[in-house]
Amino acid sequence: MSDFLIDEELLAAIDMGSNSFHLAIARVDHGEVKKVASMSEKVQLAAGLDENKNLTEAAQQRGLACLARFVGRLGAVQPKRLRIVATNALRQAKNGHEFIQKAAEILPKHIEIIAGREEARLIYLGVSHTMANSGRRLVVDIGGGSTELIIGEEFEPIHTESVQMGCVAFTKAYFPEGEISHKAFEKAMTAARKEISGIVNTYKAAGWDAVVGSSGTIKACRQICIHMGWSNDKEQLTREGLDKLKDKLLKYKHVSEMEFEGLKEDRRAVLPAGIAILYAVFEVLNIKSLVYSDGALREGVMYDLLGRFQHEDIRDRSVHALMGRYNADAKQAERVVQTAQHLFDNVAKDLHLNSDDGDLLRRSAYLHEIGLAISHSGYHRHGAYLLQHSDIAGFSQVDQNYLSHLVAHHRRKLRSDAKHDVMKVGGTKLLQLCLLLRLAILVNHSRSDEMLPAIELKVKNAQQWQLSVVGDAKQWPLLVAELHDEQVQFKNWEIELSIQSEQFVDEYLGKDENG
């Protein structure tokens, strides 16, 4: 099967935002993503977070019902050409795993909870592909639970930030009963100013030529200003228009009283909070006007997916950037990658591993030594921590968790309780990838291209593996000894590893061929 998408094939993205869930289906036309269908529902997942940051059952049911309706539109889209991303509400929810487990029974693909900066990167990607190039841009996207602010040029983001302020979260905090007052509005603006204050100097120093808004809140504010005659001759949202919108809003006492031409009913409840956040952004960053873009997270997700099919995967760029940042030994990493790929090819069919599993193993092989930048002692744990907690472009939180476990278990003892943790995170596949990585690293302990034996791996079944050292094993007595020692670690994870090697080595070790 070709790795490349051909023209007219379908892509789809589901964006599980804190306020709205969106579905977009598109065709690939000469390298461009052309939207052919879309759906959007106000689920307000963030409104369903209780005081303990748990999603209520009602909020979960709203989300699941919406996803079930979306799935009904996905019949013509192959699962591998679909991505489902979740943002701030599920990042915050302590019981988010419960919702994801329920959703897995409905959806044809797993949900990716993405970090704030990854959300910002994807939003910029969506905006930049749906607008003509206008020099350096500042992109503002006000969501239900967070606001993303990005500076970039052409298709490359330069600064990406996600701050904890959104129209649903601020509605709960400052306009909980729909009541509008000068005091509540000022409190909301003050909170927004504080959230933005940490990035002001960096962003102003970088500068921008144009400002783009890409969210439902900004779309609603712009539409109102156009209908009210408060926009400029280019139909941009201006500071003067926003002033008039704010003044008009504060004449009302309750959201039910608001009369704004162009305001959709499902946007009414969160409009005061949205205006407060947008006003603070304009004020703190000294914005005079902005243009609106229909490109947003879901478009960015599809362009990112398209890049993966066309060998322009941001994840690989991120892996090599991490290697550079932490000064990893590129030659040794490449040796381990080659061996890991060989072992993977030996057993992928029998273990039912797919190309995504192979990519995960390859990336972990490149990154397994990044923890050495912190300390040699326990460097596998340092590397695992970096992978778990860094912002890594292109990777979901689940992806990073997988990488973290692979790196954490590539050396030292394998404890039985660690097996439980790995199985809980990624099941049997992740456990098998951990063991493949260990073998690949062990085979390359000499850190020399000239000292590598030929090896072959077979699996009799999921619990019985056989590694053969092909050729004259007299050249590698230490390696074979280490492989026999590794049998003990495999057994801790309930895998029987047999070592096939030249007889003399087995006699040297005082063991039979099964260790």
Concatenated DSSP letters of 282-318: HHHTT--EEEE-S--HHHHHHHHHHHHHTT--HHHHH
Just give the CATH number of 313-449: 1.10.3210.10
Interval 391-429: pLDDT, tens = 899 999 999 999 999 999 999 999 999 999 999 999 999
CB-based contacts of 267: which residues, under 8 Å, 6+ apart? 216, 217, 220, 274
- Per-residue pLDDT at 508: 45
- How much is the average pLDDT of 510-514? 48
* Of 218-227, 256-265, 444-453, the least confident: 444-453
**How far, in Å, CA of 441 to CA of 333, rounded?**
9
Interval 356-366: pLDDT, tens = 999 999 999 99
**How far, in Å, CA of 269 to CA of 401, rounded?**
37
Q: Is residue 182 within 8 Å of 255, Cβ to Cβ?
A: no
The β-bridge relationship of strands 32-42 and 496-500 is unpaired
Interval 72-113: pLDDT, tens = 999 999 999 999 999 999 999 999 999 999 999 999 999 999
> Could you state, in order of their start, the residue ranges of all structural domains in the chain?
10-114+300-307, 131-293, 313-449, 453-515
Percentage of residues of the chain with pLDDT beyond 70: 95
Q: Is residue 384 within 8 Å of 408, Cβ to Cβ?
A: yes
Q: Is residue 32 within 8 Å of 101, Cβ to Cβ?
A: no
- In the sheet that holds 32-42, the strands lie side by side as 32-42, 20-29, 10-16, 82-86, 111-113
Residues pairing with 150 in the sheet: 139, 160
Domains 10-114+300-307 and 131-293 share a fold: yes
How many CA atoms lie less than 13 Å away from 56 in the CB half-sphere?
Answer: 12
Cα 456–Cα 457–Cα 460 angle in degrees, nearest 5: 140
CB-based contacts of 10: which residues, under 8 Å, 6+ apart? 25, 26, 27, 28, 36, 76, 77, 78, 81
Percentage of residues of the chain with pLDDT beyond 90: 81
Q: Is residue 296 within 8 Å of 140, Cβ to Cβ?
A: no
Q: Which CATH superfamily is domain 10-114+300-307 in?
A: ATPase, nucleotide binding domain (3.30.420.40)
- Per-residue pLDDT at 514: 47
pLDDT at 285 over 70: yes
- Per-residue pLDDT at 381: 96
**How far, in Å, CA of 400 to CA of 385, rounded?**
10
- How much is the average pLDDT of 189-204? 97
Interval 142-194: pLDDT, tens = 999 999 999 999 999 999 999 999 999 999 999 999 999 999 999 999 999 99
**CA-based nearest residue to 153, from 137, 129, 132:** 137
- Give 391: exposed, middle or buried? Use CB within 10 Å, 0-12, 13-18, 19+: middle
Confidence bin at 473 (pLDDT 50/70/90) = low
- Per-residue pLDDT at 507: 46
Q: Is residue 340 within 8 Å of 362, Cβ to Cβ?
A: yes
Tell me the fold of 131-293. Answer: Nucleotidyltransferase; domain 5 (3.30.420)
**How far, in Å, CA of 360 to CA of 161, rounded?**
27
- Per-residue pLDDT at 504: 41
To which H or E segment does residue 147 belong? strand 147-153
